[in-house]
Amino acid sequence: MGNFGTAPGALHEGVIVTDTSKSHADHGLRVLHVLRGCYLPRDPNADAISGLVRAVLEISAAQSRLGHHVTVTIDSDAPWESEWSGVRLKGLRRARRAHFRAAGRSVDLSAHAPLIIESWRRHYDVVHAHSVGYLRWVRAGVRVIHFHSDPKFTGPRAEGYQLDARDLEAIARFSDVRVAVSQFVADELDSIRPGLARPRVVRNGVNTPAAQSPADRALLRRAWGAGSDDSVFLYAGMVAPFKGIPELLQAFARLSATDARSRLVIAGSENLWGRDRRLGAPSGLEHELQRFADTPSASGRVTFLGFVPAAIMPAIYAACDAVVVPSTWREGFGLVALEAMAASRPVIASHIGGLPEVVTPDCGVLVPPGDVGALSAAMRLVAQDRDLRRRLGSRGADLARRWSWDETARALSDIYSTAPRRSVRRQS
């Protein structure tokens, strides 16, 4: 994939562009991953994180294992640094007085200006942006934009992206490679601006979980009020309306009305995306969820865990019997579904976005998004058929073993190595 209109050897924003791509990924690249407007903890093992942040961290750790020198940055109120799994984590202090008006529009460079400064100070071979679509003036040998979500998404609290053709043209102009997390996301990008070089599809991976002891499983289930013969369904992720939480509660209410052995565990929070400024005020769904858990029909059957540290999630998956991903928005990928499959758990998911690329009929049940009746029927089917749960879980684990984070990192290294690469020296 080329430079979208910049010929090798041409001057581009004060940087000389040269084709030095051959095998440079084999020499330990300096890679900067960029996040913005979300929450990057200093200790990811001890804190809850969103799927996007988890993906970026796992990609970074896998790249470190390949011998690259990897940094992950986030815009922050104050500067900070830490290290996790061989990866440097760094908060870049947002700039003051970085707002101005141009062509009648207000421009905010408070988060972008520190990134520009970081890129010129550290001489990165690759700048790989995940929740950032604008890399103008950023200095790197290769600049990558990675799309993890539906680019047309718009939600109830202004958390949408809603990219248009002009947005994608600007993204292409100031980047060298675009990566999509699924065929669905790549197709959506193509439909917004046909004619641009098609994004490279690089799917997320998953870690093979360590074996969990039966004693630990039993201990967690007792804490949830579930016996060995009960059917425990897990939802893990952000507590938000577009994640299908209202429909899940309705479906579970229908199931539990006739199935006294069904249980529902919810691990997550409204603020799982880390006080993302796009999300605005909380929706109050957590309070609604808690009220539902306290009703006579649900009392003792619904457990709300709130924030769960990432290091604890493998034990949570192992203690449940099935995982539900009831999203009503078009998921870009479905990392929770893949993690459930790696833990040999069947998945009930909405047939929407990139989820069908992860959850196949061999390892789960797909239902129309927002269809409470279909969701409840799928949960009932899985609850009543233990052999079905075993078959789906086993096949899902087989599939998940092919999707490792190391494979994701190798695919990205191949992309870095084949992209025309800029020299990072100033134009004299």
Per-residue pLDDT, 23:
42
Q: How many residues does the chain have?
A: 428
SS3 214: helix
- Running DSSP on this structure, what letter comes out for residue 182? S
175 & 219 share domain = no
191 and 254 in a single domain? The answer is no
How many degrees, rounded to 5, is the angle at CA 396 between CA 391 and CA 397?
Answer: 100
Alpha-helical regions (H) of 17-163? 51-65, 112-122
Residues 6+ apart with CB under 8 A from 191: none
Q: What is the CATH number of the domain that holds 20?
A: 3.40.50.2000
* Structural domain of 194: 11-205+405-426
Please state, as a whole number, how many other Cβ atoms lie within 10 Å of the Cβ of residue 299: 11
- Whole-prediction pTM: 0.87
Is 244 found in the same domain as 159? Answer: no
What's the pLDDT score for residue 100?
Answer: 73
Tell me, yes or no, whether 318 and 179 share the same domain.
no
Q: Are 402 and 52 in contact (CB under 8 A)?
A: no
**Helix, strand, coil proportions of the chain in percent (round to 5)?**
35, 20, 45
Same domain, 389 and 354: yes
Domain membership flag for residue 6: no
**Same domain assignment for residues 186 and 237:** no
Assigned token pair, 105: 């529009």
Q: Does 2 map to a domain? A: no
Are 365 and 417 members of one domain?
Answer: no
The two structure tokens encoding residue 347: 């998945």
Same domain for 395 and 410, yes or no, is: no
**Is 352 a domain residue?**
yes
Q: Is residue 287 part of a domain?
A: yes
410 in any annotated domain: yes
pLDDT < 50 positions in the chain = 1-26, 157-159, 275-281, 425-428
For residues 31 and 179, state if they share a domain.
Answer: yes
Q: Do 250 and 195 share a domain, yes or no?
A: no
Q: What's the N-to-C CA distance of the chain in angstroms? A: 28
| 200 and 262 assigned to the same domain | no
**Residue 154 belongs to a domain:** yes
Is 92 part of a structural domain of the chain? yes
CB 327 within 8 A of CB 351: no
Our count of domains for the chain comes to 2
Residue 158 in any domain: the answer is yes
- Looking at the fold, whether 366 and 323 belong to one and the same domain comes out as yes
